[in-house]
């Protein structure tokens, strides 16, 4: 007799990143929102680990021991696994397109982490600030069209977490200050994300880091 | 009596881009592979159209008249709609991660299209060439591990089309020459893509453009 086990077993998750927020924090927000257990591994041996990472970069997510690289691919994978985004395939694709729209500006900052040339660093930060101001205007229109309190209306999506983290990275790490009074609808998105029970708990208890 | 119509109607697709390959050609390859009809709109009125595009950029895909921006989001959407990639959610995420890995280098070239500073342009092209050499080495290992003839083994994926187009863009538009004898497994991927019947037909009949 063959016995079939239909118990759904939750895989084990391990997220590898530096002891900082950077590109991993939006993924941690997804874990927090879904209230799913994972090992939040903060590495201290980067030189040794780097050649073993799929793309020689972090974050890397291990799912039952198998490695998945690239922060945006990890974000999409977990959002789908945890059922964060709801909608038709076309609606999900629109969320994805706005996610890329935000990320392609913010990811310009991450290589600056170890940039020694201060003048070059300042020029990239200034460029990112200007570029993102334009994107905030577009987001403001979108939130207003969709009626808030989240970017795509009444349901939170992975984009909201990415947006929350992106603005935090730009402001706290790179000293960019956005006048959020000008973007009051986007500001409502940020406060709505921060006050979701699981997120509020994470924000209060997460490790305090320099970056 | 309520009459329900369960006929699956194929949506109408319209792809907007310049009269060039650039960021749209990988999407055209997906349409060709799936043998799905679409309007391959090559625009001539960019100044007028730009403010109307979701992100003020192209490509834009219209699905039954609704706009979807961002080349990578379009690529993922159509690959899914047409069932191009097969596998578990984790396997699909791995394909996505390698797709991003390639695209994040290649997309550095596209802003150069209208760059007047020749010296700056040359420096970016050189940087991209060096960066992509490293990625070709990683791809070579991956193809060998998976056994070919495609990057993920015997089934073609959206990544193969993106790779084909990326190398074409780098070589034909930006004059980068890769020694494909060094990357013989990757070269097999390229020739395997080009010889798929629907792709071969498209490559033979597609518009000849400068870029």
Q: Is the pLDDT of residue A117 over 80?
A: yes
A122 touches chain B (CB under 8 A): no
Distances (CA, A) of A188 to A144, A164, A182, B110: 11, 11, 12, 35
- Distance of residue B66 Cα from the nearest chain A Cα, in angstroms: 9
Cβ neighbors of A116 (< 8 A, separation 6 or more) are: none
pLDDT at B2 over 80: no
Residues in chain B: 211
Give A6's pLDDT tier (boundaries 50, 70, 90).
Answer: low
pLDDT-based confidence at residue B14 (cuts at 50, 70, 90):
very high
Inter-chain CB proximity B94 and A68 less than 8 Å: yes
Q: What is the mean pLDDT of residues A120-128?
A: 94
Would the CB atoms of B54 and A97 count as touching at under 8 Å? yes
> Do the Cβ atoms of A93 and B100 come within 8 Å?
no
> Least CA distance to B97: which residue of chain A?
A73
ipTM score for this prediction: 0.94
Angle at CA of residue B103, ends A90 and A112, nearest 5°: 110
Q: Regarding the domain delimited by A89-205, which CATH topology (the fold level of the hierarchy) does it fall under?
A: Glutathione S-transferase Yfyf (Class Pi); Chain A, domain 2 (1.20.1050)
CB atoms within 10 A of CB B191: 11
Cβ contact B81–A89 (<8 Å) = yes
Query: For chain A, where do the domains classified as CATH 1.20.1050.10 start and end?
Result: 89-205
pLDDT of residue B1: 53
Q: Mutation test of the interface with chain A: which of B62, B100, B124, B158, choosing the one with the most A Cβ atoms within 10 A?
A: B100
Q: Whole-angstrom Cα distance, residue B23 to residue A189?
A: 32
B101 touches chain A (CB under 8 A): yes
Cα–Cα distances (Å) from A94 to A60, A139, A163, B52, B77, in that order, read 25, 13, 15, 16, 9
The SS3 assignment for B67 reads strand
Check CB contact of B73 with chain A, cutoff 8 Å. yes
Q: CB contacts < 8 Å between A and B, how many?
A: 68
* Mean pLDDT in residue range A30-53: 96
| Per-residue CA distances from A73 to A24, A134, A200, B185 (Å) | 12, 25, 25, 25
Residue range A169-189: average pLDDT? 95
Q: Does B192 touch chain A (CB under 8 A)?
A: no
Tell me the pairing of strands B39-42 and B13-17.
parallel
pLDDT (0 to 100) of residue B167: 97
Q: Look at residue B25 in the predicted model and tell me its pLDDT.
A: 97
Q: How far is B168 from chain A (nearest CA, A)?
A: 23
Residue of B nearest to A60 (CA): B97
What pLDDT, in 10s, does the model give residues B134-155? 999 999 999 999 999 999 999 9
Mean pLDDT, to the nearest integer, of B4-25?
87
CATH superfamily of A13-81: Glutaredoxin (3.40.30.10)
pLDDT number for residue B111: 83
Task: Give ranges for CATH 3.40.30.10 in chain A.
Answer: 13-81
- From chain A, the residues in CB contact with B70 under 8 A are 96-97, 100-101
Q: In chain A, pLDDT over 70 holds for what percent of residues?
A: 96
The token duo for B164 is 């084909």
For residue A46, what are the CA distances in angstroms to A15, A43, A60, A134, B50?
Answer: 14, 7, 12, 36, 43
Say which of A70, A99, A107 has its CB closest to residue B97. A70
Mean pLDDT of chain A: 94
Q: For chain B, say whether A68 makes contact (Cβ under 8 Å).
A: yes
To the question of domain B89-196 being in CATH 1.10.3980.10, the answer is no
Which residue of B lies nearest to A91 if distances are taken between CA atoms? B68
pLDDT in tens, B51-106: 999 999 999 999 999 999 999 999 999 999 999 999 999 999 999 999 999 999 99
**Chain B touched by A100 (CB under 8 Å):** yes
Residue B66 contacts A where some CB pair is shorter than 8 Å: yes
Contact A101 B72 (CB under 8 A): no
pLDDT of the residue at A7: 62
Closest chain B C-alpha to A26 CA, distance in angstroms:
17
What does the pLDDT read at residue A114?
A: 80
The mean predicted confidence, pLDDT, of chain B is: 94
According to the model, what pLDDT value does residue B6 have?
59
Instruction: Read off the pLDDT band of B113 (50, 70, 90).
Output: confident
């Amino acid at each position: 007799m063959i016995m079939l086990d239909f118990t759904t077993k939750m895989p084990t998750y391990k997220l590898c990143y530096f002891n900082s927020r950077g590109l991993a924090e939006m993924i941690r927000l997804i874990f927090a929102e879904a209230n799913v257990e994972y090992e939040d591994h903060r590495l201290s041996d980067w030189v040794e680990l780097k050649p073993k990472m799929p793309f020689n970069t972090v974050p890397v997510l291990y799912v039952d021991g198998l490695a998945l690289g690239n922060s945006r691919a990890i974000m999409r994978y977990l959002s789908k696994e945890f059922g964060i985004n709801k909608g038709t395939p076309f609606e999900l694709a629109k969320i994805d397109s706005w996610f890329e729209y935000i990320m392609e500006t913010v990811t310009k900052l991450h290589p600056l982490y170890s940039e020694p040339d201060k003048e070059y660093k300042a020029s990239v930060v200034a460029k990112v600030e200007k570029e993102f101001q334009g994107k905030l205007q577009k987001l403001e229109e979108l939130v207003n069209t969709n009626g808030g309190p989240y970017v795509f209306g009444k349901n939170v999506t992975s984009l909201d977490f990415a947006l929350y983290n992106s603005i935090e990275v730009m402001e706290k790490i790179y000293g960019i200050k956005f006048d959020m009074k000008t973007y009051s609808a986007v500001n409502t998105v940020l406060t709505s994300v921060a006050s979701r029970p699981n997120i509020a708990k994470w924000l209060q208890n997460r490790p305090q880091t320099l970056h």
